[in-house]
């Protein structure tokens, strides 16, 4: 399909042409582990399912198109995608990452990758001077999360990419929160885009997956080699579920954002809320950067509750429609207490999350029902 088609059309059709054998309009689930060969080494493009699968290939082509990239690779989880990017590094290399980052990312880079001689520094990337000062002669990768998790800071991708490239480092952007519907890091200078397809791309809380997209053929070939060599690949049904979810990504993201904007405005005016973090609020420190590099502000809202840890845990436990659960990006709203859930691995580190913080993944229910639910939980 031509790249001239608009996002919504490509999400439904790119890489998903009708099946040549049957005319099926939905990509089949090729539930096979191996493929018959015409002669030794002579086949129809597929030999073993870890190396390649037609359902997975359709997803990879679609995601690459949506991110305005040339190549896509699918993985078994978002962390498997992050891990694949780390295979571009060698012992002695240095990584820069935000000081507000998903707990699992911190855990991997410090407690796993650190054992193999790769050092990671966590800095406030909203301060470009601080970022510049953090570079060392061995810095090879700048990992960006924007909006960040869980404080929803906005990082200037274009400015960071210019600094990193001047220093000879690659830039990888975790675009999970924004999705390619609201933000396209490759067009802003990033070398790689990473996703947890578990979240908004899948969109229905029924699949775990990840992806890496790039326009650099050398990076793609290296990552493709490791995808096959390491084998952290998704099954065909998982790929099919993400493809199904992507078809409605555009309309879902519009509703997620509309609801999140109303929820953020409600929380901002509530007497029992200390502070609200949402990049769509004009007083958010990253509001102007978000307006420049994003076409929408997303569906994630974080807020701090007056009364400290116990008050926050009480609110999280008393919502009725909004489910107390980890993850995000599904059609249903979720509430998370990061300090004891998604970011518990940061306890005792410089990145430890405040105990009074709650994170909302605002779903696509009626916004008034969500607001009434939060009201009763806050006042309960």
Tokens representing 104 are 């699992």
Q: Which residue among the candidates 50, 244, 272, 306 is catalytic per the annotation?
A: 50
Q: Which residue among the candidates 30, 102, 106, 220 is catalytic per the annotation?
A: 102
Q: Which residue among the candidates 174, 238, 336, 356 is catalytic per the annotation?
A: 174
Annotation says 174 is catalytic = yes
> Residue 342 in contact with residue 234, Cβ under 8 Å?
no
Cα angle for residues 288, 293, 296 (degrees, 5° grid)? 85
Q: Which residue among the candidates 56, 140, 153, 199 is catalytic per the annotation?
A: 199
Whole-Å CA distances, 177 to 77, 134, 299, 362: 15, 25, 8, 12
Instruction: Give the separation between CA 222 and CA 217, rounded to whole angstroms.
Output: 9
Instruction: Give the separation between CA 293 and CA 275, rounded to whole angstroms.
Output: 24
Tokens representing 184 are 């396209």
SS3 50: coil
Annotation says 247 is catalytic = no
What single string gives the DSSP state of each residue in 9-34?
Answer: HHHHHTT-PPPTTT--SS------SB
Identify the CA nearest to 261 among candidates 249, 276, 246. Answer: 276
Which helix (H) or strand (E) segment holds residue 220: the answer is helix 217-230
Annotation says 309 is catalytic = no
Annotation says 19 is catalytic = no
* Residue with token string 């993400």: 242
Annotated catalytic sites, by residue?
50, 102, 174, 199
């Amino acid at each position: 399909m031509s790249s001239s088609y608009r996002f919504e059309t490509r999400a439904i059709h790119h890489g998903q042409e009708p099946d040549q054998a049957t005319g099926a309009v939905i990509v089949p689930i090729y539930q096979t582990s191996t493929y018959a060969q015409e002669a030794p080494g002579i086949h129809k493009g597929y030999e073993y399912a870890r190396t390649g699968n037609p359902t997975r290939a359709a997803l990879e082509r679609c995601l690459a198109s949506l991110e305005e990239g040339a190549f896509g690779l699918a993985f078994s989880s978002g962390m498997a995608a992050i891990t694949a990017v780390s295979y571009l590094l060698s012992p002695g290399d240095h990584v820069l990452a935000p000081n507000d980052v998903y707990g699992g990312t911190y855990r991997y880079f410090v407690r796993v990758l650190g054992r193999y001689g790769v050092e990671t520094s966590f800095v406030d990337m909203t301060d470009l001077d601080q970022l510049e000062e953090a570079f060392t002669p061995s810095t090879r990768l700048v990992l960006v999360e924007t909006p960040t998790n869980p404080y929803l800071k906005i990082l200037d991708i274009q400015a960071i990419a210019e600094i990193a490239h001047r220093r000879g480092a690659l830039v990888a952007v975790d675009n999970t929160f924004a999705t390619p519907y609201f933000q396209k890091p490759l067009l802003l200078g990033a070398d790689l885009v990473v996703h947890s397809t578990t979240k908004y791309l899948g969109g229905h809380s029924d699949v775990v997956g990840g992806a890496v997209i790039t326009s650099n053929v050398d990076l793609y070939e290296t990552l493709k080699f490791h995808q096959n060599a390491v084998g952290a690949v998704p099954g065909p049904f998982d790929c099919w579920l993400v493809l199904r979810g992507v078809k409605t990504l555009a309309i879902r993201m519009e509703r997620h954002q509309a609801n999140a904007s109303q929820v953020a405005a409600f929380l901002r005016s509530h007497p029992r809320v200390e502070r609200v973090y949402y990049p769509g609020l004009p007083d958010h420190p990253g509001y102007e950067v978000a307006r420049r590099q994003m076409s929408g502000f997303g569906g994630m809202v974080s807020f701090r509750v007056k009364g400290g840890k116990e008050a926050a845990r009480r609110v999280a436990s008393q919502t009725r429609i909004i489910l107390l659960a980890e993850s995000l990006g599904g059609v249903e709203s979720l509430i998370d207490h990061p300090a004891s859930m998604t970011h518990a691995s940061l306890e005792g580190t410089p990145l430890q999350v405040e105990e009074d913080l709650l994170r909302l993944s605002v779903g696509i229910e009626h916004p008034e029902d969500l607001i009434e639910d939060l009201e009763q939980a806050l006042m309960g």
